[in-house]
Amino acid sequence: MRPHLKMLERSLIERILDETFTVLESTGILIDSPAGFERLRELGLPGDDATRRVTFPRSTVERAIADAPSAFTLFDRSGEPFTELAGDRVHFVPASSALRILDRSSGEPRDATSADFVEYARVADRLAHIAYLSTAFIPKDVPSDIADGWRLYLALATSEKPVVSGAFTSHGVPRMAEMMSLFRRDREDLAARPNSIFTCCPSTPLRWAEDAIQNLLDCAGWGIPIEVVPVLLLGMISPATTVGALVLHSAEVLSGLTIAQLVRPGTPVLFGGAPASFHMQLMTNPMTAVEALQVYCGYAAIAKHLGLPCQAYMGLSDSKLNDPQAGAESGMGMLLAALAGFNSVSGPGMLDYVNCFSLEKLVFDDELAAHALRFTRPVEVKDDLPTRPLLDELLRENHLLTAEHTLERWPEELYLPGPMIDRTNWEQWDLQGRPDSTARAGELIETALEDYDVPPLDPALDAEIRRLFSSTCNEPGVELPALVERR
């Protein structure tokens, strides 16, 4: 059996869902956009003109859950199947959209450039346990109105792997979707062979803001897989307790899922989230807080119960540096995420409340991902039951190092971590010059950059995409940065 975290009784899940359906059916969701509100009414949802609240009849939500795929495939840049988000299959992915990056030489946060992004994408592309990419941070050397799409272009130009992304404005999705469809025969082909997951965020409590509802409608219209990501702050804009938070969280996710299915039945939707605690003194929003982790694992159980794929912001840290707190929070989050069976886990690389991205952390988290994934391997009998013959051999030989069973099994069973986990003894470590983890991460980054060998985009396609950006941004004709890595 695959090790699994079990934290909600089935009967409690059912009570939580009952209450969720009641909230959706009677309180409903505020749609903070006249056009969005109208559209939802056209789609058949009851709405109150005066309050602009839309309600979701239980049967509609249940049909939407049935229409939403329980699994879906992400395709690579060229349209080949890349991976399936299904069952308890876990993917670790860099967290998204940091405001800043942690500079590798100074150790200080700073604004990022396109060159920084290319460097990040090359490294992320090479990491064995980082399943696919995200638009991890925002380059500040392009006009701000195209920054969301530009980083997706940089990711697609640098790596063939799928990308988690999202739009920053109400008109952001169509331009990004146009660009992605240039990699396919046409729009329908993009929907059939998606290369990206887009984040859509309701505004807790129970509201879809103007940009967000437009993004959600556009993504569904294009058939782009969506992760619905509410950000509850426990005790502030959410009940402080787990069960109440799960009701609110589920209502918001299912509102997004239902809307997406009404627009285009079968649109892949991940039951996502980034719940955080609210720090009653500092007024900060730790997503790594232990009670938030309980909400994460709780909604994973609800998603599994409904047969929906799920996503989480776990494996990040609120520390400002790659220090013990960063390692501890990330490791805890990633192990729990793997045990809960999250299909897409956004977190690796991120520090400081989703505000700061660190490449060093990303390579460390790649190792943590390896650990978490290994822990969830099923525990099975492997020629070791009955055990007595093996024990007889051990007693006879004093060791099993050369036993046939060991020779056959150990390479698979005993994992040798990479350099980010130090397994030397003190003398070995001393002899190696006492490399600290920053130095080791730096070396891994350099190796990844040297090994990078993804073919560049077709020059005509590349030129077409650049034209799309330079002609549609609010500084038309602006010179956009070349695709070079920062060395």
Please give the biggest Cα pair distance in the chain: 84
Please report, for residues 50, 153, 352, 469, the alpha-carbon distance to residue 139 in angstroms, rounded to integers and kept in the order given.
41, 12, 18, 14
Q: Which is nearer to ligand B12, 326 or 457 (CB)?
A: 326
382 pairs with which residues across the strands?
none
Two structure tokens written together for 342: 């999250």
Burial of 453 (0-12, 13-18, 19+ CB in 10 A): exposed
Say which entry of ligand B12, another protein, none residue 199 contacts (CB below 5 to 8 A, set by partner kind): ligand B12
CA–CA separation, 408 and 340 (whole Å):
31
Say which entry of another protein, ligand B12, none residue 145 contacts (CB below 5 to 8 A, set by partner kind): another protein
148, 360, 366, 367: residue in contact with another protein (rule CB under 8 A): 148
Stretch that binds ligand B12, among 17-25, 96-104, 250-258, 425-433 (CB under 6 A): 96-104
141, 168, 418, 422: residue in contact with another protein (rule CB under 8 A): 168
Provide, for the chain, the percentages of residues in helix, strand and coil under a 3-state DSSP scheme, each rounded to the nearest 5: 45, 15, 40
472 binds another protein (CB under 8 A): no
x-marked contacts with ligand B12 along 37-76 as a string, rule CB under 6 A: ----------------------------------------
Beta strands in 282-321 (DSSP E): 311-312
x-marked contacts with another protein along 186-215 as a string, rule CB under 8 A: -----------------x-----xxxx---
Give least dist CB 134 to ligand B12, A: 10
3-state secondary structure of 477: coil
The conformation of residue 318, written as its DSSP 8-state character, comes to -
Give Cα 443 distance to the centre of its chain: 26
Q: Which is nearer to another protein, 203 or 344 (CB)?
A: 203
98 binds ligand B12 (CB under 6 A): yes
203 binds ligand B12 (CB under 6 A): yes
Q: Which residues of 272-291 are buried (b: 16+ CB within 10 A; e: fewer)?
A: bbbbbbbeeeeeebbbbbeb
Say which entry of ligand B12, another protein, none residue 281 contacts (CB below 5 to 8 A, set by partner kind): another protein
Name which of residues 340 to 399 contact ligand B12 (CB under 6 A).
353-355
179, 231, 263, 370: residue in contact with ligand B12 (rule CB under 6 A): 231
Closest CA to 454 of 123, 185, 217, 73: 123
Q: Which is nearer to ligand B12, 225 or 341 (CB)?
A: 225
269 pairs with which residues across the strands?
226
3-state secondary structure of 84: strand
Q: Cα-flanking dihedrals φ and ψ of residue 165, to 5°?
A: -145, -160
Give helix then strand counts, H and E, for the chain.
17, 20
Say which entry of ligand B12, another protein, none residue 96 contacts (CB below 5 to 8 A, set by partner kind): ligand B12
201 binds ligand B12 (CB under 6 A): yes
Name which of residues 422 to 451 contact ligand B12 (CB under 6 A).
none
Q: Which is nearer to another protein, 85 or 164 (CB)?
A: 164
Q: Which positions touch ligand B12 (CB under 6 A)?
A: 96-99, 138, 166-168, 199-201, 203, 211-212, 215, 231, 283, 285, 353-355
Q: Which positions touch another protein (CB under 8 A)?
A: 99-100, 111, 138, 140, 144-145, 147-148, 168-169, 203, 209-212, 233, 236-237, 278, 280-283, 285, 353, 355
